Amino acid sequence: MTFSTRAANWTWTYILRPFLQILLFVLGSAALMSVIAVIVSLIFRTPASRGATLEIDLFEQLLKQLPDTLIDGITIGFLYAVIALGYTMVYGVLKFINFAHSEIFMVGGVIGFEVMIRLRDGSLLTTFPPVLLVILMIVAAMAFSGTLAVVIERFAYRPLRNAPRLVPLISAIGISLFLQDAVRALEGLGRNQFNLAYPTDSVPFLTQRLPIGPTVTISVTAIIIVISAIIMVLGLNYFVNATKIGKGIRAVSQDQATASLMGIDVNQMIAITFLVGGALGGAAGVLFGLKAGNISPFSGFIPGLKAFTAAVLGGIGNITGALLGGILLGLIEAFFSSLLPFFPSFGTSYSDIFAFMILILILIFRPTGLLGQRVDEKV
């Protein structure tokens, strides 16, 4: 095999094929959700509110908002997907729900904020190249969150590995509470506040919106989120499927005892899993901060829960599943929040209930998720 065909093969296996798969997921989910939304809007074409009929054609409204809704849904979806990868990797290896992952994600967001605010305080923010800035923020957050996840695993989970299943979960809840208040105390002491607003105003590039059609625009942050997420997913795919360490991790997730007999250092593989999952969570924190414009010690909880829902929706333990679940959940949420305002008797405040309802419904009717496989217990 010549070098060029090998390179072509490599590109196909690790870049083009997974990329096409992501594209397929995104387009497929978007098309599916659009069709459902169109049907709903045709059924409730004139939504009624407290007896009076509103002068809106829901179908028309939907069509008008469709591009924005899709862009929004896909953006949130990628964000959920990146967080969900952290849950799913740890679950795949340890069969354990890392409840503290939402706080690892939050810490990433805070690190991103710190990088940005320190550059601003040094008056560098306006002159710093924006793309480099985003990369710097993400890398810093990945390094910090990844390390944090490894430290947590070492001290709070590893000693409990053979304990009954619920025990490490309680430890994780403890870590989660601890991290929330620790970050609050640190930021409160340093900055006298803990609701941290990203100084995006100083970087005009980040607040821009680019036109992609006659009436449709897309924000630069959305583009950043989607591109970074795709890069991370491709990187993870390569890491897990092509590298020696990735193979080790997969072996450990299949059977710890056998893997260790084969000379794989199980503890090391688990630590690396936490490192990678935590780093992805940290990166997602920065992306979330850029999108939402701020982060607080308590912003991790709800996105974390939703990302977990995404992981379960796709089939927990399954990396592709996390991606699919994230995108689907993001789109579902975007459609809910674009349609609910037209039903004033319910209102948008009910939208959070739907995320939980989806979680509960999947767990009841298809606990293995969309891409999970069934495994029977050996008795």
Partner 1 sequence: MTVQQTINAPPDNLLRRYGILAAVIIFVAAMFLILITMDNSLTFSPLWTALAFPALAISPFLILRLNVSRQIKAFLILIMLLILMPVLGVHDSFYFTLATQIGIFAAMALGLNIVVGFAGLLDLGYVAFFAVGAYLWGIFTSQTDNYIHAIGLTAPAWMFYVFLFLAVIVAAFAGILLGLPVLRLRGDYLAIVTLGFGEMIRILFKNLDHPVNITNGTLGLDGLASPPLPPFIGSITDWLVTTFKLEVGNPQVLAYQLFFYLLVLAICGAAILVAGRLDDSPIGRAWTAIREDETAALAMGVPLVRMKLLAFAMGASFAGAMGVVFAAKFKSLTPDAFDFNQSIFILAIVIVGGMGSIRGVLLGAIVVSLLNLQILQSLSSLINNLKNQNAVIPVINFAFKDWPNQLAVENYQRFVFGILLIVIVLFRPAGILPASRRKTELEDRDDVPPDLTEIPPDMSLTESGGDGHAA
Task: Based on the shown chain and the rule CB under 8 A, indicate whether residue 123 belongs to the binding site for partner 1.
Answer: no
For partner 1, which residue of 63, 143, 251, 363 counts as binding (CB under 8 A)? 363
CA within 13 Å, CB half, 200: 22
Task: Based on the shown chain and the rule CB under 8 A, indicate whether residue 244 belongs to the binding site for partner 1.
Answer: no
Contact region for partner 1 (CB under 8 A) — 62-70, 106-114, 161-169, 226-234? 161-169
**Least distance in Å: CB of 277 to partner 1?**
17
257 is written with which tokens?
């005892």
**Least distance in Å: CB of 9 to partner 1?**
28
Q: Strand, helix or coil at 124?
A: coil
Q: CB-wise, 175 or 332, nearer to partner 1? A: 175
Task: Based on the shown chain and the rule CB under 8 A, indicate whether residue 221 belongs to the binding site for partner 1.
Answer: no
Contact region for partner 1 (CB under 8 A) — 14-22, 28-36, 192-200, 288-296? 192-200
Phi, psi of 52 (to 5 degrees): -85, 145
Q: CB-wise, 4 or 192, nearer to partner 1? A: 192
Q: Strand, helix or coil at 359?
A: helix
Task: Based on the shown chain and the rule CB under 8 A, indicate whether residue 375 belongs to the binding site for partner 1.
Answer: yes
For partner 1, which residue of 53, 123, 162, 215 counts as binding (CB under 8 A)? 162
DSSP one-letter code for 15: I
15 is written with which tokens?
């870049």
Query: Which residues 331-360 are close enough to bind partner 1 by CB under 8 A?
Result: 344-347, 349-350, 352-353, 356-357, 359-360
Helix axes 101-121, 58-94, angle to 10 degrees: 110
Task: Based on the shown chain and the rule CB under 8 A, indicate whether residue 161 belongs to the binding site for partner 1.
Answer: yes
For partner 1, which residue of 77, 277, 289, 369 counts as binding (CB under 8 A)? 369
Strands 294-295 vs 217-219: parallel, antiparallel or unpaired = unpaired
Q: Which residue has the tokens 């601890």?
A: 178
**Least distance in Å: CB of 199 to partner 1?**
21
Residue partners of 378: CB distance under 8 A and separation at least 6: none
**Least distance in Å: CB of 181 to partner 1?**
4
From 187, 203, 228, select the one nearest 85 (Cα to Cα).
Answer: 228
**Least distance in Å: CB of 77 to partner 1?**
20
For partner 1, which residue of 291, 305, 340, 341 counts as binding (CB under 8 A)? 305
The C-alpha atoms of residue 307 and residue 330 are separated, in whole angstroms, by 9
The C-alpha atoms of residue 353 and residue 45 are separated, in whole angstroms, by 24
CA dist list (Å): 354 to 159, 329, 350: 37, 10, 7
Phi, psi of 294 (to 5 degrees): -155, 165
Task: Based on the shown chain and the rule CB under 8 A, indicate whether residue 317 belongs to the binding site for partner 1.
Answer: yes
345 is written with which tokens?
């008797």
* H or E element, residue 203: none
Task: Based on the shown chain and the rule CB under 8 A, indicate whether residue 48 belongs to the binding site for partner 1.
Answer: no
Task: Based on the shown chain and the rule CB under 8 A, indicate whether residue 28 belongs to the binding site for partner 1.
Answer: no
Angle of CA points 189, 145, 116, to nearest 5°: 55
Task: Based on the shown chain and the rule CB under 8 A, indicate whether residue 316 belongs to the binding site for partner 1.
Answer: yes
Tell me which residues touch partner 1 (CB under 8 A).
Answer: 50, 96-97, 156, 159-171, 173-182, 184-185, 188-189, 192-194, 256-257, 301, 305, 308, 312, 315-318, 344-347, 349-350, 352-353, 356-357, 359-360, 363-364, 367-369, 372-377, 379
